[in-house]
Amino acid sequence: MKVDGEPHEASGPGTAGRNESNRVRAFLDLESGRGPVPVIDDSEIVELLRRARRIAIVGASSKPYRASHGVMGTLLAAGYDCVPIHPNEDEVHGLRVYPTLDEATAASGPFDIVDVFRRAEFCPEHAREAVAARAGCLWLQLGIVSWEAAEIADAGGLVVVMNRCTSIELGRIR
């Protein structure tokens, strides 16, 4: 079974319905504050974006129609030091792309925010990478909620943002 053009692990009768139910439940838990770990609120997001200087863009794309491309452009224009992360890209917005967060951190130093543009099922691994890199925040982009990733990040001392866009939030605080 394929979802969004990528292979999807689960298959079989009823699997799609269960996956969608779990996804909806995760979003509802986020919106109602019932998640297993704290997620920072509006005022804390404002403070985070004011303090942050370096942002890793996981899932960065050179394709102008991709959300990660536009958001990264906005963040760069706002003065953030952004480092693109993607195993299949070489350059995004004229910047060298690193295949992994670990390689980017080793080459260029730590990040205040790890901004993730990947489907929820890939986010736990990125949370582990963000913890290992001693980032300050795991930020899952608009449309992405992963309580497993949030638990990993929280246990590692990172603050967590989910289902929010850094570009939109930056515009909100200006």
**Token pair 């890939």: residue:** 122
Q: Is residue 25 part of a domain?
A: no
Task: Please answer whether residues 122 and 128 qualify as being in contact, where contact means their C-beta atoms are separated by less than 8 angstroms.
Answer: no
Q: Is residue 3 part of a domain?
A: no
What pLDDT shows up at residue 173?
Answer: 86
Which positions ≥6 away from 16 have C-beta within 8 Å? Answer: 1, 10
Find the range with the poorest average confidence among 4-8, 18-22, 109-113.
Answer: 4-8
Find the range with the poorest average confidence among 36-40, 68-72, 106-110, 122-126.
Answer: 36-40
- Tens of pLDDT, residues 22-58: 888 888 888 888 889 999 999 999 999 999 999 999 9
Q: Is residue 6 part of a domain?
A: no
- Domain CATH number, residue 114: 3.40.50.720
Q: Is residue 22 part of a domain?
A: no
C-alpha–C-alpha distance, residues 151 and 170, integer Å? 25
Q: Is residue 116 part of a domain?
A: yes
- 6 pLDDT more than 50: no
- 8 pLDDT more than 60: no
Q: Is residue 90 part of a domain?
A: yes
| Residue 56 β-bridge partners | 83, 114
Q: How many domains does the chain contain in total? A: 1
Q: Is residue 70 part of a domain?
A: yes
pTM: 0.87
Percent of the chain with pLDDT over 70: 91
Q: Is residue 91 part of a domain?
A: yes
What pLDDT shows up at residue 5?
Answer: 37
Q: Which helix or strand (DSSP H or E) is residue 15 part of?
A: helix 15-32
Supply the range of the domain harboring residue 133: 38-173
